[in-house]
Amino acid sequence: MSASPHVLGVIPARGGSKSIPLKNIRPLNGMPLLAFTIRAATQSRFLDRCVVSTDHPDIAAAARAHGAEVIERPAELATDQAPTEGALLQVLDVLGRQGYRPEYVVTLEPTSPFRTAALIDRCVATAIGQQDIDCVLTVTETRKCYGRLVGGRFEYLFPDQPRRRQERQPLYEESSTVYVTRTTALERDRSVLGRSRVGVVVTDAREALDINEPLDFLIAEAVLAQRRLEEQHG
């Protein structure tokens, strides 16, 4: 592998959000939600190209206004049932016909406004440094007690955990903040995870905040307000 592999960032931003119409360009602190991810991607040391994949003209216009390259996504790849991988592979096909082929594809969902360029770079560096994996993904730590309902009763997935939260062994949940996938694995398996061992980067819950519901926007606005307050007071 070359010292500086080509690394492509893809921001999948379809227009068909049901919970929040046109969620990806809804204003957050006066900026389209999508713009936060574009900014982090363009500040990355590793991404040599970043594109927004969308089926909606308003999202395309917002993406271009904030300096992103846009690849139009066919309608059949933008339905509720269409997997993100279909859009990623279509981007690879379009760019391949232009003579560009990356060694890694970095999937950046536009619903994570607090994702930093530093986190993207940590993930890419981890992928490059571990040649025996297909993917690196982000996770967050949790010490919650999980279970399932069986016959109307709650059964713990991990029985006999301590009642005190700080005494429990940490669990980790996939955060969907960053996925770095080897291109050959994405094409072979049509999955951002590939099929071999998956690498991991642990991030904090605030950076991994994922906006899916109206309440999430209120939480994000509160986080930004707190940040401004902290900056004002040093």
pLDDT (mean) for 185-213: 94
142 pLDDT above the threshold of 70: yes
How confident is the model over 63-74, as a mean pLDDT? Answer: 97
Residue 39 has pLDDT above 70, yes or no: yes
CA angle 167, 126, 9 (to 5 degrees): 115
Q: Which of 211, 215, 218 is nearest to 24 (CA)?
A: 211
What is the per-residue pLDDT across 107-123, written as a single tens digit (0 to 9) for each? 999 999 999 999 999 99
Assess whether pLDDT exceeds 90 at residue 192. Answer: yes
Q: Write out pLDDT tens, residues 208-233.
A: 999 999 999 999 999 998 888 888 87
Mean pLDDT of 163-186: 94
Residue with tokens 């391949």: 96
Question: Residues 6 or more apart from 3 whose CB is under 8 A from it?
Answer: none
What pLDDT shows up at residue 233? 79
pLDDT of residue 2: 47
Q: State percent of the chain over pLDDT 90.
A: 84
Q: What are the residues facing 10 on neighbouring strands?
A: 51, 107
Q: pLDDT averaged over the chain?
A: 94
Across residues 41-52, what is the average pLDDT? 97
Q: Is the confidence at residue 153, as pLDDT, over 60? A: yes
Stretch 150-162: mean pLDDT, rounded?
94
In this prediction, residues 8-29 reach a mean pLDDT of 92
Per-residue confidence (pLDDT) for residue 131, from 0 to 100:
86
